[in-house]
Chains A and B, each alone.
Chain A
Amino acid sequence: DTGVSQDPRHKITKRGQNVTFRCDPISEHNRLYWYRQTLGQGPEFLTYFQNEAQLEKSRLLSDRFSAERPKGSFSTLEIQRTEQGDSAMYLCASSFQTDTQYFGPGTRLTVL
């Protein structure tokens, strides 16, 4: 399977805990994007990387959120001190340059 993969697929955590998600993009894609999707809504852009550089961050990305792509391949998204409002599906997508973005299956986060 050469598509975008995400791990874990589901995460249940208690409020105040830290969580980390991983995304592995399509291997030849140099751009990687994170989106958040809440119930009944379309995905909303959070941030994107070109290779290892984080070039754009949405205002939705509060100080509790941090994303990395240390070697320009996989990426991690960490949420510190989770809140119930962080419950959502976190989607990763990748593309080659400005070409079409291909999405992974998502990580569903539930904060109790």
Chain B
Amino acid sequence: GEDVEQSLFLSVREGDSSVINCTYTDSSSTYLYWYKQEPGAGLQLLTYIFSNMDMKQDQRLTVLLNKKDKHLSLRIADTQTGDSAIYFCAESDGSGGYQKVTFGIGTKLQVIP
């Protein structure tokens, strides 16, 4: 079945760049997502990328997709303390008639002031 893997923890200093990595196994993925979850809250969609794209930039966020290696990364420039949260990588596959979304375990980003 589909699997999405992420590292569990990342610590960076305020102002530095953060890079969160993810690998996935489903070669038929159509969309890849990054969601942010703050403590006790639901998931906030940060950005997504179509599987036929290599890169997407949105303000401080840059998503890189290496489809050959099934590797997705999220770079946050000028990381702020408000960026501290859990970041979930997710992939979806529309081949079953609906967008089944499979999530990774989440990477906890700690930003040190």
A residues engaging B (CB < 8 A)?
4, 6, 31, 33, 40-45, 48, 50, 55-56, 91, 93, 95, 98-106, 108
Contact = CB atoms under 8 A, between A and B. Distances in A.
A56 B98 contact: yes
Contact of A55 (B44, B94, B98, B106): B98
B105 A42 contact: yes
Nearest to A44: B103
Interface residues of B, number: 25
Contacts of A105: 41-42
Given A31-B98, A103-B35, A103-B45, A41 B105 contact: yes
A106 B42 contact: yes
Nearest to B100: A45
B81 to A, nearest CB: 22
20 contacts: A4-B42, A6-B42, A40-B105, A40-B106, A42-B4, A43-B43, A48-B98, A50-B98, A91-B42, A93-B43, A98-B98, A100-B31, A100-B33, A101-B45, A101-B101, A103-B42, A103-B45, A105-B41, A106-B41, A106-B42
